Amino acid sequence: MKVTFKGILQAHIEDLSFFPEIAPKMFIYLNKEDLHITLLNSQELGEYKEQFKKDWNNYKDLFPSFPEVSFEAKPYISDNGVKRSWVLDLDKWSQIKVWNWLYHVLTVMGLKKAIQPSERVFHVTLANTTGRKFHSVPDPWNHRK
């Protein structure tokens, strides 16, 4: 997976072999180039956001490759009352590998206290009601149906 920084740190999905073929009715797939795993967002970084943005390019070559990940067997619907998404979480072992990678990145950058790992479940949103990436449930694991 390719890891990029665009306002937030994301792992973009390149291998779509895991991708389920049929979304539930009323859902529209996101564009394949929009499929990603959010690793960090601006709110999580809080007061460290500007430092992270400034230092990212200076440090990114020091990081190990992003780990190979696997996904759970079945996607689920997430509904927070405003938005609905069809989501696929990383499996438990992949969750640990990604947290370890992210912890290493933040430690190297001197930002290891910037996030609380227990609060995020790494996932990819496959579809939502509009097909637009910004219309997805932001924390789907908290709104699982």
Residue 143, in any domain of the structure: no
Residue 107, in any domain of the structure: yes
**What is the pairing mode between strands 9-12 and 2-5?**
antiparallel
How is residue 53 written in tokens?
């943005």
Residue 132, in any domain of the structure: no
Q: Which residues pair with 38 in a beta bridge?
A: 10
- Report d(CA 23, CA 25) in Å as an integer: 6
Where in the sequence is the domain holding 120, given as residue range(s)?
2-70+90-124
Residue 114, in any domain of the structure: yes
Residue 135, in any domain of the structure: no
- Residue 46: pLDDT above 90? no
Residue 145, in any domain of the structure: no
Closest to 49 in 3D by CA, of 9, 77, 90, 93 = 9
Split into its structural domains, the chain has a count of 1
pLDDT tens, 71-118?
A: 998 999 999 999 999 999 999 999 999 999 988 888 888 886 656 656
Average confidence score pLDDT of the chain: 87
